[in-house]
Amino acid sequence: RIVYLNGEFLPLAEARIPIMDRGFLFADGIYEVSAVLDGRLVDNEAHLARLDRSLGEIDIRNPHTTKEWIGLQTDLIARNGLEEGLVYMQVTRGVAERDFAYPSADTTPTVMMFTQGKRIAANPLAETGAKVVTVPDLRWKRRDIKSVALLAQVLAKQQAAAAGVAEAWMVEDGAVTEGSSSTAFIVTASGVLVTRPLSTALLPGITRKAVLRLAEEADLTIEERLFSVEEACAATEAFYTSASAFVMPVVALDGKVIGDGSPGPLTRRLRAHYLALARGEG
């Protein structure tokens, strides 16, 4: 596998970073993930815009223009012959003597990218639907920043893995904030699509935005509001969205069956529409 590190494409085993990298010491960095389908990046400019915004929120200068990022991503995809999967990008504040406050402004950010082959459109789990467990949301208060500090999500995902399910939905004050690496949606008995509104309490999902636009185009009723675990358990359909799952049907929440226990019709429609969009047919 070929990866990118600070201006160079090199074999994974040769890509090293110094122990004083602030990403390693403080999780002082930002990441972004774009999907690749049929060898092409999906909704990538929105991901790059979010990367730029996240970097700005923590005062790391974006080391590349959008055009440069796309050039590097495209090169990396070609070098790895990636047809379907993910491109991971990470920028940290760079290497400096360990001290909490920012190092001098001339410190060079560390830039790294790698690809991962993954079945996203062709994911068999999307046919049967995913089971989800709820976990407490243990994260900090700026979840709109896509920070590499992911310990709470590591713990959440491990609880899901231990329960033998694909995803954990995080809960705060009785309401579902989002998935550990996805945005949570439900469909109520009256056919209303519900997802939490954007704020600093959750990541502004790029797939979320695209799916809401598709739902709008399909004349669905959308409510951006909080929903509780109880309401989710009583929903007729549920799903989650992310660059790495697209639209993933949820068929059980904390062991309670959602709907008839198979992917709901509205969820399947939105997944099909999103796939068409991702393939450039939308």
- Contact set with ligand PLP (CB under 6 A): 33, 178, 181-183, 203, 205-208, 241-243
- Cβ atoms of residues 188 and 236 within 8 Å: yes
- Cβ atoms of residues 194 and 185 within 8 Å: yes
Give me the least distance between CB of 89 and ligand PLP, in Å please.
Answer: 12
Of 218, 192, 70, 125, the closest CA to residue 210 belongs to: 218
d(CA 112, CA 203): 22
Q: Which is nearer to ligand PLP, 21 or 32 (CB)?
A: 32
Residue nearest to ligand PLP (CB): 207
Give me the least distance between CB of 181 and ligand PLP, in Å please.
Answer: 4
Q: Which is nearer to ligand PLP, 95 or 157 (CB)?
A: 157
Q: Which is nearer to ligand PLP, 44 or 241 (CB)?
A: 241
DSSP-derived 3-state class of residue 191? coil
Based on the residue annotation, tell me whether 146 is a catalytic residue of this protein: yes
CA angle at 127 for the pair 126 and 133, rounded to the nearest 5°: 55
Q: Which listed residue (67, 118, 141, 146) is catalytic?
A: 146
Residue 37, strand partner residues: 40
Please give the C-alpha separations between residue 37 and each of 29, 71, 81, 239, 243, in angstroms, as whole numbers. 27, 17, 12, 21, 11
d(CA 83, CA 80): 9
Q: Which is nearer to ligand PLP, 148 or 234 (CB)?
A: 148
The catalytic site residues sit at: 146
